[in-house]
Every structure is written in C-alpha cells, then in structure tokens.
A and B are shown apart, each in its own frame.
Chain A
Amino acid sequence: MDALSYLVVFAIILLPLCSFITRVLKKRSLQLSITLLLLSAILVMFISLGMSGAKGTIFNVISISPFSIFFGIVFTAGFLLINIMASEFSDKYENFSLLASFALVGMYLVAASNSLITIFLGIEFTTLPSIFIILLSKRSIEAAAKLFIMAAIAIAVLSFAIVLSYGATNTFSLPQHSTSYFLLFAGILFIASLGFEASIFPFNVLMPDVYSGSPAFITGMLGGLNKKMGFAAFIQVMILLLISYHELFYVVAILSILTMFYGNLVAIMQKNVKRMLAYSSISQSGYILIGIAAFGSGGIAAALFQIFAHTFLFIGLLGIVAWMESKGRTTIDNYIGLNSENRFAAFSMSLFMLSLVGLPFTTGFVGKFLLFLSAVNGNLILLAIFGIVNSIISVYYYVRVIIAAYTKRYDTRPLRMSRQLSVILISCIAITIILGVYPSPLIYFAKSAGAYILAL
C-alpha cells in the first residue's frame, strides 16, 4: 500500500478529532474552516487514489479499492456541501459538525469494509450520531425517537443476520460463498436490515416521517449520504448473496418495483415539498435497485452512477428547500412565483428536478439510461418497463413544483440568496451538467468499482 492511502486514513481520523478540539474551544469559524479544509484534502486524495487505481488493505479491515474510493468521493463531496449548508442554516453548527464528522467516519468504514463486522460497526457509527443530529432541533424529537427505535430493531436484525452467516461460512470476512440455507436465512435478514438503511420499501415506511420531521439540511444529509451508505452496505452484501444464490435477483427486482411505485405514488399527493422529495428519494432507491437486480450486465456500475447523480441532485434540491424553509415557505403553494423572486433558484430547482426525471445531458439521464440499459441487457425487460413507467409518473409531481415556481405572481420582491447557498447550487449544477454531457470518466470509474465488487 502506498503512503497516500495511509494519509487518507490519517486525515479521516483527524477530522472528528479536530472538530472535537475546536468544539471544546468554542471556535466556530475555525471549526468550519478546518473541517472544510480537511474534507477538501480528503477529496483530492481520494480522486488521486482513484486515478492511480490503488487496491489493497490497511490494518486488515480497511480495503482501499475502486469501490470504496468511489463511495469515498461521493461521501466527501456530499458532506462538504452539507457542511456549507449547515453553517448557513443551522444555529448549532458546532454540534452538527462534530456529530456529522463521526457519522462520516462510519460511512467511510462501511464503504471500505472487507468484513461484516466492519459494516456493522460502520452502520452503528453512522446511525447514532445521525439520531443526535436530528435531535439538535427541538421540534424533531419525535422523528429522532422513531428513527432510534427503528434503527435499533434494524441493527438487531443485522447482528442476527451476521451470526447466521457466520454459522454458514465460518468467517466474518466479505468474500464468502456458501450454499447452506443458513446463508439464505441470513440473506432475508440482511435485506431487511440493510434495506432499512437504504430506504427500500417495506422496510423504510418511517423514512418520510424522519425526512420531513428534521430540518432540510439534515434531510439532505440523511437522503444524500446516509442512504448511500446503506446502499454501499447493501450492494456489498447482496452481491455475495447473489453469487451464492443467483435467483435472489428476483427478490431484488420485486422490491425494486414495490419501492418505485410506493415512492412515486405517495409523492403525487404530497403538498409539502420536503416530504415530496423524501418520497421521491425512496423511488430513486427503487431505480438503484434495478441496477442491483441486473448485476450481471453492468447493473452495478449503473447503480453506482445513479447513486452519484442522486447525491448531488438531492443535496442541491434540499439546499433550495432549506433556503425556502428559512423563509417559512414549505408547501408547493408557497413556491408560486419563485422565478420572479429569484431566477437562479427557480432555474436550478427545475434543472435538478428535471434531471431526476431524466433530462438528457444531465447525470440523472445518464444514470437512468444505464440502469434501464442494464436491465434490458440482463433480460429484465419488465423491470425496465416498470422503471420507465415510474419515470413518467414522477414527471407529474416534479413538474407541479416547476410550474408553481414559474407561475407569475405580481406582488413579489427579489429574494436574496446567500453566497454559501449559491456555491452549493453552482457546484451541484456543474456536476450535473458536466458529467451529464461528458459522463465517460465517471462511467469508467463506476465500471471499475462494479467490476471490483463483482470479482470479490
């Protein structure tokens, strides 16, 4: 292993440490700058690691691979944006930053795990700080309590699943193949518990409650990062199960269809924009599952691409929602006339939403295209059709918000947007459009990550 990988691990450990020290010293701006600096450094290191194609293991538990680097980039970049957003919208940024950096370490741990124990640890490490983050806002106690109960159940189920799989294979490490029925039973419980983390129907029904119950920037973190952490775990475990029991992909396909329909249909009737986005993010989980079901035909790469795309689209959207929320505007009716108040906000919101639908030359289109293509190539044509039908349904509720934003209202005054938010939106737009027009590098990266995870 080269020095850079050790340096990344060192920087990641440094992150919560610095955050803790600056928190104790009560130096807010120092905390913010150090966190952003460290995150940028980690991002750069991850990208250069990804370019050099590093592979290896550190301390026998952390694996540096295209897969973990891919997720590392998603988490770091996403967390960077969330941090800027939190410094703008949260009055308890100090606590948020500290807790969130712990959660981030957990996410890295899940992405870079090579054993079930690390996955378990990582999920715990992420979930607990996330619950406390939600608790930071007095109004979200109910959401936090619900999440706590459900997360406890999920983690119990997960530990039982790990025990069962140990019984089947006599190892905790990830490359494990067995035809024992124990592994199959473990598989059920893995799907349930990791499905909860990745918000897959029917294990996720409380997610919209949590998403809409917490402040918007925290929702951005939960939907943008925590859910992706769930997928990082889900993909790693599912691939192993799928290789042992190939027929399991039917189960994934059924769950995918259920998740897509659940998310999209319930989203139609939502009046609160944040809640609508929560449901839409559930339906996005369904699309990502298409790729996992079609894992043999480039589906994993497609799913990874979509995970990347959705992270930044969701964070960008939640940035606008948080901004509107700070003005006391939450429902779709409140968005009427947004264009005449702030053109940039209306434009970027429309772009993100249309990209989620699948507007060509944006990452959302490329992701969906790859997903449906992989489904078709893997002879899951029905799944692809369901995906397309759901895309059409989703137009209905996204466009409603866009129409509201571009409806003329005459009593409007210009609404200023802070610089931090503009930075977030511009970076999300840049990612969406640049990688939408020229997706080759990201597709290549996703493919190598998918190939790595399939070869385990």
Chain B
Amino acid sequence: MIALVLLLPLFIALITMALINDKRAGIIRYIPFFASMASLLLIPFISSGESSLSWFSIAGHTFSITTIDSPLNALLLLIVFSMASIIFVYSFGFMDALSEQKRFYMEMTAFEIAMAGFAMSGNFIMLFISWEFLSLTSYLLIGFWHSRESASRAARKTVTIIMIGDIALISAMVIFYTIFGSLNFITILTSISSVPALYHGSFLIGVFLLIVAIFTKSAQFPFQEWLPDAMEGPTPVSAFLHSTTMVKAGVFATLALLPLFMDTGYSNILLYFGIFTAAIATLNASRELHVKRVIAYSTIQELSLMIVAISSGAILAGIYFFIIQSFYKALLFFSSGVMMKATDDEDLNKITGLRENKLLYFSTLFGALSLAGFFPFAGFFSSISITSTFSLSENFIIYLILSLISIGTSFYIFRWLLLASKDPTDSKVKVKYKTAPRSMIFTTALLAVLSLASSAIFFIMRRILPSITLSRSYLVGTLPLGISTGEGVLETALILIGLGISLQLYSKTKRSQPMVIYDWIVHSTLLFNKLYEYIAAFVYYLAEGIAIFDLYLSDLFDYLGHLSYSLAERLRYLAVGDTNLYVLIFSIGILFTTGCIYIIVIK
C-alpha cells in the first residue's frame, strides 16, 4: 500500500479544510497547494511494483484494491501533482470571492485525489473507484456556479454522457472477471492469448465496452460534446480538467491496457475514430467564438491525436505528447481566465486588449506557438513524431488528414490570438489587464517557460522514455522517437499556411467576422450534439413510465398501509383489555408455531 501514501497529504488537506470555519476561509486556499507539493515530494519514495489490499470477499471471490508503481504511473502522478500545485497558485488570484473558496478547494482536492488514485491503479477495482470519483467531482466542479442555469445544465450533460462510459466500464469489468477470474491488469494482460474459444465473443464485447468507456472519458466521437460544454466551470477547473485530469484518464487507460486493443485488432477503431474526431474538433474550433470553447475543441483534437499515436504503434510519441500537452493547455486556459476577468466577456469578438499586459501576451503567444507546433516549441516535436508514423505512400489519406489538421490547428489558434489581442476601446480594460493578480500572470509565465523547456528535454526524453516503458513489456520495441529535417520543413510550411490564412482573415485591419466557407460542414457535425438530447428524452420518457407505475405502487402501499394501520389502531386503542390481548396474541403465536411444527416436522 505504499502508493496510497501519496494520497495521504491530500486526504489530510480535505479533512482540515472541512473542519476550518467558513469565516477563516483565507487560509484555506494555501492548504491544497501545500498538500499537492507534499504529495509531489513523496513520489520518489514510493517503491516500484504492485501492492494490494484485500477489500472484501464474498462467496470465495476476493476483491482487492491494487496499486502499481511503474515509472509510467509515476510519470502521470508527477504531472498531476505538479500541475495541481501550479493551478492552485493560479486559483489564488482567480477565486477572489471568499464565500466560495471552501467548496472550490475541497472539490478541487477531491478531483486531484480521484485522478491520483486513477494514476496508481493496478486493477480494475481501483480504476473503477477513481473513475467514478472523477465523474462525481467533475460534475460538482462543472456545475460549480450552480445558480447559473447553463452551468447546472452543462454539469448534467457531462454526467449523463459520462455515465454511459461508467456503465460500459463496469460491464466490461464483469466480462473480464468472468473470463480471467481476476481484475488485475497484469494478470489480464498476460493471459490475453489464452482466452478460451468459448469466451472469445464476450471478450471482444468486453474490449469494445472498454473502448466506449475510454471514449466517453476522453471525449471522443460520438461522445465529444460534453467537453466544450464543461467550460461552464471556473477556469482553474477547465485548466485542470483539460491538462491533466479526467480527459487524460481515458488516454492513460488506453496506454495501460494497450495489449487488449492491439491483440483484438480494435486498435483500428481507436485509430479511425481518433482521426475522425480530430478532424471534427479542428473544424469546430475554427468557427467557435467562445474564448474557452476554442481551447476545449483543441483539447478534443489533441486527445484524438494521442489515441491515434498510441493505437498506431507510435507509443513513445503518444506519451511525449501526453506530457507536453499539459503545460501549454493549462497555459492557454490560464490566459483565457485572465482575459475573461479583464473584459467580463467570453465572446472572442468582444474580448480585447491581450497585448496590454506584455508578460501575459508573450506567455500566451508561447502557448499558441507550442499548440500550433512551431519549431523550437514542444508541439513541433510531438506533432512531427506523430505524423511521421504514417508514411506518405502507405497511409496517404491519414497523412493528408493529419496535414490538414496541422493547417487547421495553426489557423484556429492564431485566429484566437488575433481576435483576443485587438486594441481595447475601453480604458478600464487596460487597467484591469495591468492590475491582473500576480499569481495568475506569473503562473502563466511559468507555464510558458515550461512549454518551451519541455521541447528542450525532448532529446533527453528520447533516452529516458524507453526506460519508462521498460516495466511494461508490451511497450518495448515500439517505434522510436525521431524526426527528419524534411518533415520539419514540411510541418513549418503547413503551420505558416494556417498562420497566413488567419492573418489574412483576422489581422488588425479586418475587424468584421468573415463568413467561413466550411460553416456548413461544421454544422452537420454538430448533429451529434443531439445524442445527449436523445438520451435525455429517453430517460425522461422512462421516468414518465415509472411515475405512472409509481402511482399505482403508492396506491398499493397506501392500501396495505391502511390495512395494517387499522389493525395497529385496534391493538392500540383497546385500552382496558390490551394487555389481555397481547397475552392472547402470544398464545395464538404459540399455537401457530405448534401448528407449523406439526405440519413441517412431524408430518
């Protein structure tokens, strides 16, 4: 249980916060930060390997909580705790209303615990528990401003779609337990080849359900629409959710359980759905005007690319992308948060004046360049190493789509940047940018440095990453990380095309919002947004049906209740003779028992 020790500081923080009085909320905000730091510092001390604690056993089946501490898990834990610390510092500035702080920090800490638990899970039970806690806490956090109708609606939408994945996951768990007699990852992964022929069909169904679960969590087609709506939560929540927690859970599950998909050939599903989702998300991001939703769509696209990379064998590229995406994604959300605070608006057309704060502007520019994949930034290396997995001659279509996505990415992120950095008309906005809380600006700048530095460690990572995958034998022997000059030049050219288009359309001189040609394509993809509405309608009618049944049931209960009530009333109001009656009933009971025994035993 060594790994669970990491959660201890966070649990202590949670309890401490719960005990602190609302009036002294000022100190609450420092607690989760220090707890995250403590957890971060504890990571080197956890021993590697598997450890398990038996939870309960029923009818000979023992269910236990297993944690695993391979370097891959430690890597995710490292990202979670470090990003959490940064995000908590950012929140100092962002959450300035004292009244809400206690709830915010407690829910955020619970969210962090859920994700850390996920990162160290070594069997499906631990995975499922943290998976469910992620769902629950994300529901609370997305609906954090519960008095806003749109927020509670978005939270409900999220939890509805994610519940599909929860059901799929537990169904898959039941299937795997029936087949393998264990829920341990290592046991399952090592015995895939020995699945009895009898179970082969159900095994495939199990893997398919697992893919459904991953798709809901990581917002892949057709479940992608909850993620942009989740923007209703506070900005630190978005930053946390998009960079490290929740959506990354699906990708990490894919990584941890890769042989299940590889050996069944279902990795193709992952690949094609991933490409398709990436394309849709890029299109959506290009026409979106809500400042945070653009970034949200880009997250969907990146998650798809991670899944594409992992499922097509470029696992190291996938892991590298997994790491670096955290930094610039959180950065872009941070700067969106500052913009929204400064201009009190969420519409890109109305947001202005990003350039007023030079530090913020350049940090954001770094993030945008990294997202687009410009040369010295981390995005460049990851983007190329993913694209180069597909050769031009064999997978021409995929290669083409990925190239178009590169153009699109560069287009929408510079569009976002250009629209946000218009000159402000209001002088108050300038002041607000200048006086933005330091904790917000400096964390943004820190992340900008990190997203540049993470590219520098690409070359170190090339050596380190294989050792990370060593403990998982199935990851060994996958495609190495590598880039050639030709690909680099091509990538840069693609980005420049995107940049050129957005400069052409959105540069300073051209203020008006031009018609985007492919608006209708995007519109047709939005149809899948209806999925949620269909589910909601289905549940509604189901509830209607149950309500009718319930009416009859309550009538029945009332009737039965009245029946027994009249009996009880009689017993109660026989005031003079009641004790006699009790004695009578006692005697009748003896006679009744005698009768029973006579019939059952003697006869």
Contact = CB atoms under 8 A, between A and B. Distances in A.
A438 B57 CA distance: 10
Interface stretch (A22-30, A185-193, A379-387): A185-193
Interface residues of B, number: 35
Interface string A182-216: 00100111011001100001110110110000000
A268 B57 CA distance: 35
Given A248-B601, A377-B59, A146 B579 contact: yes
Interface residues of A, number: 45
The B contact surface, by secondary structure, is helix
A247 B590 contact: no
Interface of chain A, helix or strand or loop or mixed? helix
A186 to B, nearest CB: 11
A265 B566 CA distance: 11
A418 interface: no
Contacts of A439: 56
Contacts, number: 100
A254 B55 CA distance: 35
A192 B590 CA distance: 6
Contacts of A262: 564
A443 interface: yes
A452 to B, nearest CB: 20
B563 A265 contact: yes
Contacts of A396: 557
A13 interface: no
A440 B54 contact: yes
Contacts of B593: 188, 191-192, 251, 255
A150 B578 contact: no
A49 B567 CA distance: 47
A254 B579 contact: no
Given A188-B590, A192-B593, A251-B593, A438 B55 contact: yes
Contacts of A438: 55-56
Nearest to B53: A438
Given A192-B593, A266-B567, A203 B55 contact: no
A145 B57 CA distance: 47
B564 A202 contact: no
B460 interface: no
A455 interface: no
B582 A205 contact: yes
A149 B59 contact: no
A196 B563 contact: no
Interface in A226-260: 245, 247-248, 250-251, 254-255
A181 B560 CA distance: 39
A251 B600 contact: yes
Nearest to B586: A203
Contacts of A1: none
Nearest to B572: A209
Nearest to A203: B589
Contacts of B602: 181, 184
A196 B583 CA distance: 11
A153 interface: yes
User: Looking at A196, A265, A373, which has the most chain B CB atoms within 10 Å of its CB?
Assistant: A265
A248 B596 CA distance: 9
A373 to B, nearest CB: 7
Contacts of B588: 202
Given A184-B597, A250-B600, A146 B582 contact: yes
Interface string B549-561: 0000000010011
Nearest first, the 4 A-B pairs at minimum CB distance are A269-B565, A265-B564, A268-B561, A202-B589
25 contacts: A146-B579, A150-B586, A153-B586, A154-B586, A157-B590, A181-B602, A188-B597, A192-B586, A192-B589, A203-B585, A206-B579, A248-B601, A250-B596, A251-B597, A255-B593, A262-B564, A265-B561, A265-B564, A268-B561, A268-B565, A269-B568, A396-B557, A438-B55, A438-B56, A443-B56
